[in-house]
Amino acid sequence: MMLNATQIQLIDRALTKIGICYIDIRLELTDHIAAALEQKDDRFEHHLKGYILEHKSALKKLNRKFIFIAACKAYKRFFSNMFTLWFVVPFALIFMAALAVNSSYGREDTIMALFYTYVAVSCILSTPIIYKSLRNRDQYSFGFGFSFINLLLFYPSIYMLRIEESIAGDNVMMLYFTAIISVCIVMHATIRQFDKHYKLRYNA
């Protein structure tokens, strides 16, 4: 039997119910399941329930595999972007601004200004992801790879503030905060690149 649009949506909902949330993975698995169900007779809902029950474990395993692959690709692009103008230009501009502020206001004010800039940039760039999560908007699996970067950067930053007085020289602290602000910008640029790619691929 040939499946119609309503039946395709039912497959998508069935995948969501078993915890497969990312839209790109659901689309890939929906095609796979639809191809299998088209070989059956007209009892669509009966065969769909049976397929999900029989292959639930395998589908979840595929889901984890696809998330891992997407995260690896995202991190690969992220690290390659670290050697492009997406990192170099913000780093140079922020560090020059920090040197100017340091010469006028001193080390403590400069470091706090850099820290608050990092927090502001991190929050602003994370807002679209948080918004989609709160509104239950469809998200792509590559985003999972960036879920932990802000946390990984935040705690060392707090630690650096605590040991600031024991660090000799102004440049070390300024270089650190300049680097993490630039990393946030690169992360956002990478997310935008992948988002555009996935939308084109899945016609979203």
Which residues have a Cβ under 8 Å from the Cβ of 175 and sit 6 or more positions away? Answer: 95
> How far is the C-alpha of 7 from the C-alpha of 52, rounded, in Å?
14
pLDDT of residue 40: 85
At 194, list the tokens.
Answer: 């992948």
Task: Tell me the whole-structure pTM to 2 decimals.
Answer: 0.82
- For CA atoms 98, 165, 151, 83, give the dihedral sign: positive
Summarize pLDDT for 25-54 with one digit per residue, the tens. 999 999 999 999 988 888 888 999 999 999
> How far is the C-alpha of 135 from the C-alpha of 81, rounded, in Å?
30
**pLDDT tens digits, the chain, 204 residues: what are they?**
788 889 999 999 999 999 998 899 999 999 999 999 988 888 888 999 999 999 999 999 999 999 999 989 989 999 999 999 999 999 999 999 999 999 999 988 999 999 999 999 888 877 777 676 666 567 888 877 676 677 778 888 888 888 888 887 778 999 999 999 999 999 989 988 988 888 888 875
pLDDT of residue 11: 93
Q: What is the DSSP string of 125-165?
A: HHHHHHHHHHTT----GGGGGGTTHHHHHHHHHHHHHHTGG
pLDDT of residue 136: 56
At 75, list the tokens.
Answer: 């991190």
> How far is the C-alpha of 198 from the C-alpha of 191, rounded, in Å?
10
pLDDT of residue 13: 92
pLDDT of residue 200: 87
Domain ranges of the chain: 5-68, 82-202
Q: Identify the H or E element spanning 190.
A: helix 170-202
DSSP state of 20: -
Residue pair 85/131 in contact by the 8 Å Cβ criterion = no
